[in-house]
Amino acid sequence: MIELNLKMKEDRIEEIGDNHIMTSAKTPMRDDAFELSDAEKMDKIEDSVKDILITLGMDLTDDSLQGTPRRVAKAFVKELFMGLNPENQPKASTFDNSYNYGEMLVEKNIIVYSTCEHHLLPIVGRAHVAYISGGKVIGLSKMNRIVDYFAKRPQVQERLTMQIVQFMQKALGTDDVACVIDAKHLCVNSRGIKDIESSTVTAEFGGKFKQKETKQEFLDYIKINTDFGDI
Catalytic residue at 119?
Answer: yes
Pairing outcome for strands 154-155 and 104-116: parallel
Which amino acid type is present at position 155?
A: Q
Name the active-site residue from 20, 107, 163, 187.
187
Name the active-site residue from 20, 46, 107, 117.
117
Name the active-site residue from 157, 163, 169, 204.
157
Name the active-site residue from 118, 155, 169, 204.
118
Nearest to 53 by CA among 43, 67, 41, 39: 67
Catalytic residue at 169?
Answer: no
Nearest to 95 by CA among 128, 138, 54, 60: 138
Name the active-site residue from 119, 128, 179, 204.
119
Catalytic residue at 157?
Answer: yes
Catalytic residue at 117?
Answer: yes
Cα gap 41→39, rounded to integer Å: 5
Instruction: Please enumerate in sequence order all residues whose Cβ is within 8 A of that of 31, keeping only pairs 6 or more positions apart, or say none.
Output: none
Cα gap 180→46, rounded to integer Å: 36
What are the strands, taking DSSP E only, across 104-220? 104-116, 122-132, 136-138, 154-155, 177-185, 200-205
Name the active-site residue from 116, 128, 155, 163.
116
228 and 199 Cβ atoms separated by less than 8 Å: yes
Catalytic residue at 128?
Answer: no
Nearest to 130 by CA among 64, 204, 74: 204
List, by residue number, the catalytic residues.
116-119, 157, 185, 187
